[in-house]
Amino acid sequence: MRLEQYILNFGAKFNRIDDYMRKKRANPEYRRIITGKKWQKLRRMKMLKNAIDNGGFCEQCIKDYIAGGQRPRKAIEVHHIVPIESAHTREEMEALAYDESNLMALCFECHHELHRQLWKARFNKAQRQLDKARKKETMENDINDYIERIKKGI
């Protein structure tokens, strides 16, 4: 079954978050945006804005700290809340990439964790689709068996 193969491939390829990040960076359109002047400038602006608004601390760490977590770490990376690569067209990709409200200034640890969760959500969604397809297949097989039995007069 195609979907089953997809899940297997998905599991093998994206076994580790590092592999997922490597795959993402290999996307030519993604590379073009991330290495472009427009993104570099927006990224600097976001870091500067975060320095003013949050003292340069990680936005996720601050959320966690307010909820009783550990002391915040400094933000060193800028994250896209809705991933650029989730877009289907070049225009959509650019819209997500350059949307200031789609950005978060994060520390390395929180950035890694957020991407791990994103990957997990995608994997779980694919798994649910597979379960649904399997259930449908079982139902269709039962119906076919039933029809066969009627034909044979069993």
What residue ranges bind Zn ion (CB under 5 A)? Answer: 58, 60-61, 73, 79, 107, 110
User: Would you state the structure tokens that stand for residue 95, as one six-digit string?
Assistant: 């819209």
Least distance between Zn ion and beta carbon 111 (Å): 5
Least distance between Zn ion and beta carbon 25 (Å): 11
Residue type, 88: H
How many Å apart are CA 139 and CA 154, to the nearest integer? Answer: 20
Q: Which 3-state string (H, E, C) describes 22-88?
A: HHHHHCHHHHHHHHCHHHHHHHHHHHHHHHHHHCCECHHHHHHHHCCCCCCCECCEEEECCCHHHCC
Least distance between Zn ion and beta carbon 15 (Å): 19
Tell me whether residue 61 or residue 96 sits nearer to Zn ion (CB atom).
Answer: 61
Least distance between Zn ion and beta carbon 127 (Å): 23
Tell me whether residue 93 or residue 107 sits nearer to Zn ion (CB atom).
Answer: 107
User: Would you state the structure tokens that stand for residue 32, as one six-digit string?
Assistant: 């073009």
Tell me whether residue 58 or residue 96 sits nearer to Zn ion (CB atom).
Answer: 58
Tell me whether residue 112 or residue 130 sits nearer to Zn ion (CB atom).
Answer: 112
